[in-house]
Structure 1
Amino acid sequence: MLCNPDAPIDVSLCKDCTTSSLDEMKRQLAEVDAELINYDKALQDLSLKSSATQWNDVDATAAQLQRLTMEEATLLEELRTLEEQEAKIKKENRELDLTLSTGEKESDDLYRIFRNNHRMFLQCSEECQSYQLRRNLMEESLEMLKSMSTLDIAFCISIHENYGTINGLRLGRLPHEIVEWTEINAAFGQVALLMQILSERVGIIFTDYEIVPRGNNSAIRRLSGTKTVEYPLHGSGGWKPFGQSQLDHAIVGLLQCLIQIEAKLRERHNAVSPVLMYRMKGEQIIDNESPYRVKMQFNSEERWTKAMKLLLLNLKRAIAISVKLPEH
């Protein structure tokens, strides 16, 4: 009832109940006192701890503040250093930018110069290649010209049907085909000029004879001591078995000159045997042991034409040999 708040306080209690209630209240009071003591002790402990913690926090805070102040000073110093470095770097960057701008301008100028020089180099290369091609072409042409015989070109000797020809002029005549004296005389003029050039080429001065090339009015001079006789190397009129004796002397002289040219060619080549195609002796040219006289007198037109053809073939052979000789 004492513990019940709804119970009336003025209820009378018996002794035992009162004693029991007092004992219970004392017990509860003792427990409350014990708790109070514990709370007070805990409060004191907390106060001590709070005081110690407060003083410790102040010292730590002061130390931390001092440390932070020092760090701030250090960082400010580093900041000033970094700002100085930044300013220096910015200055260097400006200088580098200026240098870069100048370098880019110089680079552009140099590239422009390089491009111009490269274009000039390509042009020069093309010109060099062109000159080299032209040089190669000229060298090939020179070699081709060296391999060619100017004499063979200037005096084209060939066979046309039964005739020997020089530069297209027939040297001979046949009964069934009359060749005019103008053509024959022009052919003799070409032969005379060719033999005169051959004598100079091989380095020979004719003995007893001298060739006078004058086109279709050429002549052969016979030198006998102080006396000189000139025989015409051209004819006229018809075919006369007993005529044209002056022309015959000229043709024989022409053959003797060719014999002397062959002898000089043999000497230059150190050859023992004849170097021309057909053997020549006196007034004859021999083909397969058959002699053909170069004189018209007492000769047939066919055999005389054959003799003139053999004469021209020997001259063609002499040209081929002479071009291989070193300059005299």
Structure 2
Amino acid sequence: MSPALFLCQRCKEPLKLLQQQGGPLEVQHHANTPTEIPVSAESQVRTSGRPHSDGGRVSQGSALCTFTLLTSGGPDSEGGTTSQGNACCTFTLLGESASMRTMNTIQNTVLETFEILSDQKVVDHPLCVDCTDHLLMQLDDQLALLASDNQKYKSFQDRELLVSEEEREALHAELCAELSSLEQEEARLTQELEDLDGHHARVAAELRAAQAESKELYKQHEQHRVEYSVFKMEQLELMDQLSSVENQLTYALSQQYRLRQTNIFNATFTISDEGPLGVINNFRLGCLPGVRVGWTEISSAWGQTVLLLFSLSKIAGLQFQRYQLVPFGDHSYLKSLTGDGVLPLFSDGSHSVFLNNKFDCGMKAFLDCLQQFVEEIERDERCPCLPYRIHVKEGLMEDVWDSGECCSIRTHLNTEEEWSRALKFMLSDLKLILAWASLRYC
């Protein structure tokens, strides 16, 4: 049978029970330093059957098992006795002397185990020396406190015996009056407490209402904050759009001012001369034996000339009577309003200079339109005096300022020098008309 193990009830130090050879079991306290435990009497621990009523004697067949509490190291090698100077404390176990495994013992063991597991019984263990001293000190303190209370009680009792009947009745009446006053005070305080409870209930209701209102206001505040954020974003976008529109307006106004300051005719049409040849927008109009000009360039120059006269008539509000100008680049032409068909102002050089051709008719028709425009602008007092006079029927350009020479604008039976000089005279008149139109309409 393995030795039983015990723990100190306070410090939980292990206390080991050792079986002596042929004798009782010993309880060994595992401690490094030997400590004596004063025990006033033997402690008997019941482990099996109940004790007999005969002064602690057990029934027949039972035996006494003795345990010894050792306070130093284990038993020495000779018979299990402790060393000299070490104190021991003997515990006696009541039980069978033989195997200690009778039916009664088993039942009691099972019952006690059940009570321990169900917290219906507290298991007591031995105490070590330090814990025993601490327990004795606590018991001494409690005993001193009880003795003091007992002394006070006796003093009060002796004082009560010394009080007379009249004094007792007066004291009773005084205490009754004080009790009545205290009861009234209690009733008043109870009523005040009830009033305070009612006030507290009203305040709590108002607080709940205020909290609900605060929660609702908080929701509205959050909603307003979200709406404010949306409106703020829209405002920023509108401000960006407004700034963009203002910048565009500023740019448009500046462009408008520049356009107003710009002479559209002077910027679009440039008329100059290159020796005996007239030039419009870098296209030479005419040709010479020593200066060969392609018919594509001559047709392009006529296209620019038709476009210039067409623009001037449009801005002046003039409607030509016999012909309609159709600017079409290097294939510009005039459309007859009297049934003569289309008169081209372009050629590839294949027309015959010995016959009356449509190219010459087209140039004469152009002089007719130019003469109508000159007659229209001569009504203005600020109209310039043109240096070259137009003879529409003959198709001539007369130099009235200088030599009075007349040059034919036709190629029929004409030289290249005279034809080019007539075209230069025509461009010179258009240059003066262009300057007048720039001052008059721009």
Shift of 1:261: 1.1
Instruction: Provide the C-alpha distance between the structure 2 equivalents of 1:123 and 1:102, rounded to a whole number of angstroms.
Output: 31
Corresponding residue number in structure 1 for 2:216 = 102
Q: Counterpart of 1:177 in 2: which secondary structure?
A: coil
Match for 1:260 among 372, 383, 388? 372
1:123 is aligned to 2:237 = yes
> Could you list the per-position Cα deviations for residues 278-300 of structure 1 after superposition, in whole angstroms to 9, with x for gaps in the alignment?
56443436586565645254764
Greater relative contact order (CA < 8 Å, ≥ 6 in sequence): 1
Corresponding residue number in structure 2 for 1:158 = 271
Instruction: Provide the C-alpha distance between the structure 1 equivalents of 2:377 and 2:296, rounded to a whole number of angstroms.
Output: 32
Corresponding residue number in structure 2 for 1:185 = 299
TM-score, L = length of structure 2: 0.44
Shift of 1:84: 3.3
Instruction: Provide the C-alpha distance between the structure 1 equivalents of 2:236 and 2:293, rounded to a whole number of angstroms.
Output: 65
Q: Which moved more, 1:80-89 or 1:180-189?
A: 80-89
Of all paired residues, the percent bearing the same amino acid is 23
Corresponding residue number in structure 2 for 1:53 = none
Relative to structure 1, the CA distance from residue 278 to residue 73 in structure 2 (aligned partners, 3 Å threshold; closer, same or farther) is farther
How well do the aligned residues superpose, as a CA RMSD in angstroms?
Answer: 4.8
1:314 is aligned to 2:435 = no
Relative to structure 1, the CA distance from residue 213 to residue 125 in structure 2 (aligned partners, 3 Å threshold; closer, same or farther) is closer
Corresponding residue number in structure 1 for 2:174 = none
Q: Is the 8 A contact 1:276 1:317 kept in 2?
A: no
Shift of 1:111: 1.2
> Could you list the per-position Cα deviations for residues 246-265 of structure 1 after superposition, in whole angstroms to 9, with x for gaps in the alignment?
66665454334223213323
Q: Counterpart of 1:165 in 2: which secondary structure?
A: strand
Corresponding residue number in structure 2 for 1:48 = none
Relative to structure 1, the CA distance from residue 218 to residue 115 in structure 2 (aligned partners, 3 Å threshold; closer, same or farther) is closer
Q: Counterpart of 1:307 in 2: which secondary structure?
A: helix
> Could you list the per-position Cα deviations for residues 171-224 of structure 1 after superposition, in whole angstroms to 9, with x for gaps in the alignment?
13355422223322331233234324433443333355555656545556888x
Corresponding residue number in structure 2 for 1:295 = 408
> Could you list the per-position Cα deviations for residues 47-103 of structure 1 after superposition, in whole angstroms to 9, with x for gaps in the alignment?
xxxxxxxxxxxxxxxxxx999999998777666545533332232123212322232
- 5+ residue gaps, structure 2, are 1-178
> Could you list the per-position Cα deviations for residues 256-277 of structure 1 after superposition, in whole angstroms to 9, with x for gaps in the alignment?
422321332344xxx2352476
- 5+ residue gaps, structure 1, are 1-64
Instruction: Provide the C-alpha distance between the structure 1 equivalents of 2:301 and 2:355, rounded to a whole number of angstroms.
Output: 17
Report the structure, 1 or 2, having the larger helix content: 1
Q: Is the 8 A contact 2:285 2:420 kept in 1?
A: no
Q: Is the 8 A contact 1:189 1:215 kept in 2?
A: yes
Shift of 1:146: 6.3
Q: Is the 8 A contact 1:171 1:308 kept in 2?
A: no
Shift of 1:310: 0.5
Instruction: Provide the C-alpha distance between the structure 2 equivalents of 1:287 and 1:67, rounded to a whole number of angstroms.
Output: 146
> Could you list the per-position Cα deviations for residues 100-132 of structure 1 after superposition, in whole angstroms to 9, with x for gaps in the alignment?
223223312321222122122212321232234
Q: Is the 8 A contact 2:407 2:418 kept in 1?
A: no
TM-score, L = length of structure 1: 0.56
1:113 is aligned to 2:227 = yes
Shift of 1:170: 1.1
Corresponding residue number in structure 2 for 1:8 = none
Relative to structure 1, the CA distance from residue 290 to residue 254 in structure 2 (aligned partners, 3 Å threshold; closer, same or farther) is farther
